Chain A
Amino acid sequence: DAKTTQPTSMDCAEGRAANLPCNHSTISGNEYVYWYRQIHSQGPQYIIHGLKNNETNEMASLIITEDRKSSTLILPHATLRDTAVYYCIVRAQTGANNLFFGTGTRLTVIP
């Protein structure tokens, strides 16, 4: 069962930063926060993950609060191709790698 809460939808102007929040108030100490996105009619795509510290890669930044109960995915300069459903997933460090997807946030980047 999904352990995360995300807004159903968000809009972002092209070229601006998109900040997607996720609440995971019941996260355990050994659980990571993962972000995937799914562009229409494609398979999900991994974006980033983190445990405690903030993380950055070529796609996005992940900011995790100190108490780890929430996080924010930041797309620094959103483009039209970033329009997708963004899934925030909490997953244990060990054991099966299965991902339990929540309902996600539908991000629409507006020209």
Chain B
Amino acid sequence: DTEVTQTPKHLVMGMTNKKSLKCEQHMGHRAMYWYKQKAKKPPELMFVYSYEKLSINESVPSRFSPECPNSSLLNLHLHALQPEDSALYLCASSQVLGLEDEQYFGPGTRLTVT
């Protein structure tokens, strides 16, 4: 199974809402990533987890709060977002950090903030 799943596929939320994005993989990977992709732009890294610990935070605003409850799951908690946060949020995983292995990406969650 080389699949990374993300739920929900689409999410519309108001600026005062709290919501969460979920990502799951069962490949035994110990590195997981969140990327943000605006329309017609390349993906941009947000967070990296290694062995369930936050390894990299690319200066992401605190209204985005990642969580890695176990080695298969990665969440992104959203609170008080702005309309400019509307984007495709991509999750990825790889075996471990520091090797030349590839990242496997999920299909993404398309988020619209109203």
Contact = CB atoms under 8 A, between A and B. Distances in A.
Interface residues of B, number: 25
A43 B90 contact: yes
Interface size, A (range): 20 to 34
A99 interface: yes
B104 A46 contact: yes
A49 interface: yes
Contacts of B71: none
Interface stretch (A63-71, A76-84, A101-109): A101-109
A22 to B, nearest CB: 14
Contacts of A93: 100
Contacts of A46: 102-104
Interface string B62-104: 0000000000000000000000000000101010011111111
A96 B42 contact: no
A100 B44 CA distance: 7
12 contacts: A2-B42, A41-B107, A42-B107, A43-B4, A44-B105, A95-B98, A96-B98, A97-B31, A99-B43, A101-B42, A102-B42, A103-B42
The 3 closest A-B pairs by CB, nearest first: A43-B105, A101-B42, A46-B102
